Structure 1
Amino acid sequence: MAHLLCIEDDPDTCELLVEVLTAEGFGVSTVLSGEAGLSALDKRPDLVLCDIDLPDVSGFEILTKIRADNLLPIGVPFIFLTAYSQRAHQLQARQLGCDDYVTKPIDFELLIAIIRHRLASATDKGTEKSELRLTDREGQVLTWVARGKSSSDIATILGISERTVNFHLDNAMRKAGVATRVQAAVKCAMLGLIEP
């Protein structure tokens, strides 16, 4: 049974989420603040539903911290569930790396379809190790990225040009399906393809 973490400050919404999602066969934990949500990540949920407007730490700040500090394994879906329907909020959420954005009032049929799809996609990512292949040079470059080195540092260490380093980084990011070099390094480390 998939375990969902709901970070939502409205007790009535929490109660409704628990009722509906539990009836759909999910395990559900709820917390009423951003700080409590960050602490609850230790329980390793399979998916996170998070409001943006929270009393202490915003949902944007939570997602930023999760991505910056690798508080969730790669592939654990993060979905915003919010009353903010403005394009600017949705754009900011996508730029921070959320997997989906659902607006209130909640269409539970849609939400459940999104959750099931995201969980199925996350399960598929578990098979990526056999599919994701790095060349030796891509592996070397990402290993040094994981150790905090810049492209120019890596070029010096490996005795190649910075342009060549960036070429290998671009290839590795494309193969890993991520937007940044750090995300590529984290993903490949978690799949055991590099050892930082």
Structure 2
Amino acid sequence: MTAPALVLVVEDEAALRADIVEELQEAGYRTLAAADGAAALALLADAAPDLVLCDITMPELDGYGLLSALRADRPELAATPFVFLTALSEPRDMVEGKLMGADDYLVKPVDYDLMLATVAARLRQVARIRESDGGEIARLRQTLSALSQDGAERALDLIALGVVLLDGGGRVLHANCAARSMIDAAEFVTLQQGAVGATDTPGDRALRDAITEALAAARAGTGKADRGDA
């Protein structure tokens, strides 16, 4: 059975934070709560939320700072929706947040029905994207199984989805054109000497941990570890 989605609530006003958490829990979500961005980063060291609901104006580290740190240092959470909760309703404030990578805005005072509808909509959007990517990868695997190595690489270059094939040791066997374009366009991801990495130490560690977990899951699911496949 799939666990309910985990929502991280970041809000410095204690009473409002408690009310938001209560509404989310009554709707069936799991929750984590933090009083500011610094406390949220501490929680994120050991958790991977499905959605972040975050105030903008906070002490220690504000919402913009948290969003910037999350997008820069946690590439594995790149698809996690980030929703600002704010009293700042000027268009320029919303534009600034959107340019930084925010996915949506909720304006105080909080309309809880709208909040729950927004959370559900964003989570459905992520689920659809993951389902679509999963279906494309499954079709790709089926197609590649009937191709030679050269034919498989040519086929990979024809699809829009970025794909990097790794061997059982985590070394890069092939990165298709879409993946190489994404890597070239990103300032924090590298592909050097047969290995995928990140330019900063925390991001590099997180990426390598994610690759290790994926390889372990592949071995457990396919039973091909003894042949060096991933």
TM score, norm. by length of structure 1: 0.70
Specify which of 24, 27, 31 is matched with residue 28 of structure 1: 31
Q: 1:143 to 1:87 in 2, by over 3 A?
A: closer
Helix, strand or coil: the match of 1:147?
strand
Q: Which has the larger radius of gyration?
A: 2
Specify which of 44, 69, 79 is matched with residue 41 of structure 1: 44
Specify which of 143, 161, 168 is matched with residue 133 of structure 1: 161
- Following the alignment from structure 1 to structure 2, what is the Cα–Cα distance between the partners of residues 29 and 136? 38
Give 2:97's aligned residue: 93
Q: CA RMSD in A?
A: 2.5
Q: Comparing both chains, which one has the higher relative contact order based on Cα–Cα distances under 8 Å and sequence gaps of 6 or more?
A: 1
Tell me how far 1:67 sits from its aligned partner: 1.0
- Following the alignment from structure 1 to structure 2, what is the Cα–Cα distance between the partners of residues 61 and 140? 29
Number of residue pairs aligned between Structure 1 and Structure 2: 153
Give 1:123's aligned residue: 127
TM score, norm. by length of structure 2: 0.60
Structure 2 unpaired stretches of 5+: 137-159, 163-174, 193-206, 215-230
Query: Percent of aligned pairs with the same residue?
Result: 30
- Following the alignment from structure 2 to structure 1, what is the Cα–Cα distance between the partners of residues 12 and 55? 8
Helix, strand or coil: the match of 1:25?
coil
Structure 1 unpaired stretches of 5+: 150-185
- Following the alignment from structure 1 to structure 2, what is the Cα–Cα distance between the partners of residues 72 and 140? 18
Give 2:69's aligned residue: 65
Give 1:175's aligned residue: none
Q: 1:26 to 1:136 in 2, by over 3 A?
A: closer
Helix, strand or coil: the match of 2:79?
coil
Alignment of 1:36-185 (within 5 A): 36-42=39-45, 43-70=47-74, 73-127=77-131, 128-131=133-136, 132-134=160-162, 136-143=176-183, 146-147=189-190
Contact kept in structure 2, 1:81 and 1:101, CA below 8 Å: yes
